[in-house]
Amino acid sequence: MPAIVVLGAQWGDEGKGKATDLLATTDPIDFVVRTSGGHNAGHTIVVNGEKYATHLLPSGILTPGATSVIAGGVVVSPEALFHELDGLIARGVEVADLKVSANAHVIASYHATIDKVTERFLGKNQIGTTGRGIGPAYADKVNRVGVRIADLFDEGILRQKVEAALDVRNHLLTKVYNRRAIEVDAVVEELLSYAERLRPMVCDTSLLLNQALDAGRTVLFEGAQATMLDVDHGTYPFVTSSNPVAGGVCVGAGIGPTRIDRVVGVIKAYTTRVGAGPFPTELFDDDGARLQQLGGEIGVSTGRTRRCGWYDAVVARYASRVNGLTELFLTKLDILGAWERIPVCVAYEVDGQRVEEMPMTQTEFHHATPVYEYFDGWMSDISGCRTFDELPANAQAYVRALEEMSGAPIWGVGVGPGREQTLVVHP
């Protein structure tokens, strides 16, 4: 299986890090690739009880022998990149080989400044971004005033580009937002300071990956963010500024869609969301607080508490459809062991009508209330189970029911954060 995509099927934090790490260690994987987003991601990997969090780096950085690739669709903060690398090195991790696309756009400190100022101006309409400068960096890219990694190796070009980028931005900052202007010299100096350390990592990652696939090597594309946070297919405007869906992988990596063999959607056995925006199954009661507490639902990047709710099969079917999922990886089933009865949202009611698929408009989605079906819980600790057959009958029935209604077969089930805490349903 040469090209495998792993992506988020809900609003992020489904366990993509764990799924990537698992695939990278069970099959020999040659490349682990990030294709969109930036250091707004927070992916947790637990190896032999040791916990690691990756943000901008692909989780493959922890897999010796695999090459990690940051492809052209990613927005790269060199500061965050080196901070993360140095953090792993300081912990004694033998970091894998790393390649960075020359075409990737750069996040400079002014992007984070603008991200935060813009959020403040939005007031009660704010998105609840991670404040990492992701949106402003993608905005510069689309406005054609972005700085790319390759520009860091030519001071003259870099200065011209930073001047162009800051021209309008500084008018906005000083005249609209009442802030100090950002100095071109300081930005250029900062970005140049990363150039030498970056140089050996930089290459044409599209060529690298296509040649690898031609040679029959195995490439794992590690999704960041998720389907419902996609700028085109998510709950716009409460989304990130990239395309985390499967189609975005081709654009972000520079590979054709015909290259992809498997598309694995990672999905929690319940639902969480960080930041603002609609969330039909959100719970505001004790069940929500318990899911949050038992699931340890605290953001890896920002430390924010995640909003929690029941599994939403309408979202699952939508994710299966827009990504062409070949399978699902269901995580955190172990967390549901404390409930006698588990509700699952099987459809919505929108303005008095039952709807089975994602409503067409944002207003309808805001008005959607869940229609629940109830499943018997198993009321036990399943974190020690290692095969699907070992699961209590009610847990097996819950997984089979979700599979039936979610639009793709469930390949594996997570019963704990560790690599080994995974049950294969369909090998």
* Binding residues vs Mg ion (CB under 5 A): 13, 42, 300
**Cα Dmax for the chain:** 67
Residues 235-254 that bind ligand IMO (CB under 6 A): 240-241
CA end-to-end span of the chain: 13
Beta strands (DSSP E) in 111-226 are 202-203, 219-222
**DSSP H or E stretch at residue 403:** helix 393-406
Least distance to ligand IMO, CB of residue 316, Å: 16
Give the residue with the Cβ less far from Mg ion, 42 or 244. Answer: 42
109-136 CB burial, b ≥16 within 10 A, e <16: ebbbbbbebbbeeeeeeebebbebbbbb
Q: Which of Mg ion, ligand IMO, ligand GDP, none interacts with 326 (beta carbon under 5 to 8 A by kind)?
A: none
Give the residue with the Cβ less far from ligand IMO, 228 or 371. Answer: 228
Q: Sign of dihedral through CA atoms 62, 95, 225, 247?
A: negative
Q: Which of ligand IMO, Mg ion, ligand GDP, none interacts with 229 (beta carbon under 5 to 8 A by kind)?
A: ligand IMO
How many residues interact with ligand IMO (rule CB under 6 A)? Answer: 22
- Does position 107 bind ligand IMO by CB under 6 A? no
SS3 at position 272: strand
Give whole-number Cα distances, 403 to 23, 56, 211, 314, 406, in Å. Answer: 21, 32, 36, 12, 5
Instruction: Tell me the window of 127-135, 153-161, 329-337, 397-405 that interacts with ligand IMO (CB under 6 A).
Output: 127-135
Residue partners of 363: CB distance under 8 A and separation at least 6:
none
Selected catalytic residue, list 43, 55, 111, 233: 43
Give the number of residues written for the chain. Answer: 427
SS3 at position 386: coil
Least distance to Mg ion, CB of residue 273, Å: 12
SS3 at position 215: coil
Q: Which of ligand GDP, ligand IMO, Mg ion, none interacts with 358 (beta carbon under 5 to 8 A by kind)?
A: none
Give the residue with the Cβ less far from Mg ion, 359 or 416. Answer: 416
User: What does the block give as tokens for 188?
Assistant: 């250029």
SS3 at position 117: helix
String of contacts with ligand IMO for each residue 206-225, x by CB under 6 A: ------------------xx
**Is 13 annotated in the active site?**
yes
Where does this chain bind ligand GDP (CB under 6 A)? 8, 12-18, 42-44, 46, 296, 300, 331-332, 334-335, 414-417
**Contact with ligand IMO (CB under 6 A): which of 8, 146, 288, 417?**
8
Give the residue with the Cβ less far from ligand GDP, 50 or 357. Answer: 50
Query: Which residues are catalytic, by number?
Result: 13, 43
